[in-house]
Copies of this chain bind each other. A is one copy, B any other.
Amino acid sequence: MEAPANVVNLRRRQRGERDPVRTREAILETATQEFAAKGLNGARVDTIAKRSRANKRMIYHYFGDKAGLYLAVLEKTYAAIRMAEIGLQLSDRDPVDGMKQLVQFTWNYFIQHPEFLSLLGTENLHRARYLKQSRRIRELHSPLIDMISKLIERGVRIGVFRPDVDAVQLYITIAALGFFYLSNRHTLSTIFGRELDTPERLATRGRHIEEVVLGYLRP
């Protein structure tokens, strides 16, 4: 009995046994965690090798070098959020409802994908040096901008949104409101002396973000 191709084998690989797809996948997944937790400079190739149960040599075999592995992680992470965004189906009745859905989608995606937030921070520390190398990511535009544009247009037409709202600015704003809270929760919670990532506090923040965006958009 063999597992079908393209499906990752969950059984623990025996010494010497080959499974290139799974090995590559395991390295990539472990590397995502490691780069997200430690940044590009803090991440250790040996740690990734050990935790993914792959030989260090395999990392160089599949990804060339540490930077190549990091770039692969970045591409996978960006591709994942773009895929999720494409899957977002907004209510086509009320633009107010549609905007709420979009805002909550973004907030929930950030909560569920802390590795995306961390890698974004790391990549910016490096002045987007790696992202600039990836034609694939550069061309992977967010569909949210278009969705926001259309929502604004419809909302303005039926008089529920203010005019003269820039879709790109609003896109940045919606991301910003969630990103800052989650990305800086360690320093913020230390200074405020209270946890920020309990389910209640996260829900409270989610409501606030929605109120800010929708409050702003009122005519």
Q: Which A positions have Cβ atoms within 8 angstroms of B?
A: 38-42, 118, 120-125, 127-128, 131-132, 137-138, 140-142, 162, 166, 168-169, 172-173, 175-177, 179-181, 183-193, 204-205, 208-209, 211-213, 215-218
User: 6 A-B contacts, Cβ less than 8 Å apart?
Assistant: A38-B125, A124-B184, A141-B191, A169-B208, A211-B216, A212-B213
Query: A50 to B217, alpha carbons, bound, how many Å?
Result: 52
Of B42, B128, B162, B187, which is within 8 A of A123 by CB?
B187
Q: Are A138 and B190 interface neighbours, CB within 8 A?
A: yes
Q: Given contacts A123-B186, A168-B192, could you give 8 more A-B pairs where the C-beta distance is less than 8 Å?
A: A118-B125, A138-B191, A172-B188, A179-B180, A179-B184, A212-B212, A212-B216, A215-B217
Q: Are A169 and B205 interface neighbours, CB within 8 A?
A: yes
List of B residues within 8 angstroms of A120 by Cβ: 184, 187
Return the chain B residue nearest A123 by Cβ: B187
A77 to chain B, nearest CB (A): 12
List of B residues within 8 angstroms of A173 by Cβ: 177, 208-209, 212
A46 to chain B, nearest CB (A): 15
Q: Are B131 and A125 interface neighbours, CB within 8 A?
A: no
List of B residues within 8 angstroms of A187 by Cβ: 120, 123-124, 128, 131
A6 to chain B, nearest CB (A): 30
Return the chain B residue nearest A168 by Cβ: B192
A211 to chain B, nearest CB (A): 7
List of B residues within 8 angstroms of A137 by Cβ: 191
Query: A18 to B183, alpha carbons, bound, how many Å?
Result: 43
A104 to chain B, nearest CB (A): 16
Of B41, B118, B128, B175, which is within 8 A of A41 by CB?
B41
List of B residues within 8 angstroms of A166 by Cβ: 208
Query: A142 to B192, alpha carbons, bound, how many Å?
Result: 10
List of B residues within 8 angstroms of A208 by Cβ: 166, 169, 173
A52 to chain B, nearest CB (A): 21
